[in-house]
Amino acid sequence: QVQLAESGGGSVQAGGSVRLSCAASGNTYNMYCMAWWRQRPGKEREGIASIYIAGGRSTYYADSVKGRFTISQDNAKNTLDLQMNSLKPEDTAMYYCAAVSAGSNGYCYPMEAQGITSWGKGTLVTVSS
């Protein structure tokens, strides 16, 4: 069992930047992928960035955020970050930290909601124009 806690959400003007953080605790040793998801108003939750915990630590991004968002993970601190730059009003959403552990049906890429084994409670990011 993994517990995830997001922080760093808030209000920002279009074109600005926000850095989100996620602290992982509990049974993290079987965790092989961590990801950021978001849910925009009126839309389904979508995976926007993921990273393999071991090996080459490959990263993946949804087209909507590629080139603007950067995911990173620190094994020593058990934290996951998301640097969000050049924010747009359509980036307004609840952002969720997620983890996939061994034995699940989940893949690091492509991301599938049913494969996520642990979810954070979310942090709201509001981008105004």
pLDDT in tens, 36-88: 999 999 999 999 999 998 778 899 999 999 999 999 998 888 999 999 999 99
Q: Band the pLDDT of 90: cuts 50, 70, 90.
A: very high
β-pairing verdict for 123-128 and 10-13:
parallel
Interval 11-40 mean pLDDT: 96
Residue pointed to by tokens 């992928």: 33
Cis ω on the peptide bond leading into residue 110 (within 30° of 0)?
Answer: yes
- Give every CB contact of residue 107 below 8 A, 6+ residues apart in sequence: 33, 100, 115
Residue pointed to by tokens 């050049």: 86
List b or e across 68-100, with b for residues whose CB sees 16 or more CB atoms inside 10 angstroms: ebebebeeeebbbbbebeebeeebbbbbbbbbb
Quote the mean pLDDT of the chain: 95
